[in-house]
Amino acid sequence: MKHFGIALGLLAFVAAAEVGAQETGLALGTRAPAVAVRDLDGNLVDLGQYLGKQPLFLEWWATWCEQCDVLLPRVRAARAELGDKVQFLGINVAVNQSPDRVRRYIKSTDVPFRTLYDDEGVSTRAYAAPTTSYVVIVDRSGHVAYTGTGGDQDFVGALRRVAAP
């Protein structure tokens, strides 16, 4: 019986690895929260406008985040490949940052997403973002299809699946 439990746990681990990175954060398959976050100009952007309509790539990031810098080329490549099929949003966590600092970074770095500024932590709490470089991919039905953290995460397969017709 003990071996059966170990084997079952191993199978669950392997199955989860095949589906997505799922390290932490929202559980795969859950409905993505429809929260409103401000942009750099102070306007509210309702994430609910995308949910159930088109796939969504979300990354919680900061200008000082080294893992975000490592991840940036992968995000650029994914945007170049799938940007017409997926909405890309970068949610700046606003810790030790100002809107002006974020604007300067965006201008000098050419980030591949529309930037939101979560100075109230609304999306950070709703999406259970454990750290910067946290990526959530939402499918067109509005459910979480992938979560992961770190600069070496491989989210492209999940992104291609949610973008497929």
Cα distances from 123 to residues 5, 18, 39, 94, in angstroms, run 37, 27, 12, 12
What's the average model confidence in pLDDT over 62-91? 96
Q: Please report the pLDDT score of residue 25 as a whole number.
A: 85
**79-108 pLDDT per residue, tens:** 999 999 999 999 999 888 999 999 999 999
- AA identity, residue 163: A
List of domains in the chain: 22-163 (3.40.30.10)
Question: Is 80 in contact with 49 (CB distance < 8 Å)?
Answer: no
Question: Is 31 in contact with 56 (CB distance < 8 Å)?
Answer: no
Q: Please report the pLDDT score of residue 8 as a whole number.
A: 28
pLDDT band at 165 (very low <50, low <70, confident <90, very high): confident
pTM for the structure as a whole? 0.84
Q: Please report the pLDDT score of residue 22 as a whole number.
A: 52
For 79-131, give the DSSP string: HHHHTTTSEEEEEE--TT--HHHHHHHHHHHT-SSEEEE-TT-HHHHHTT--S
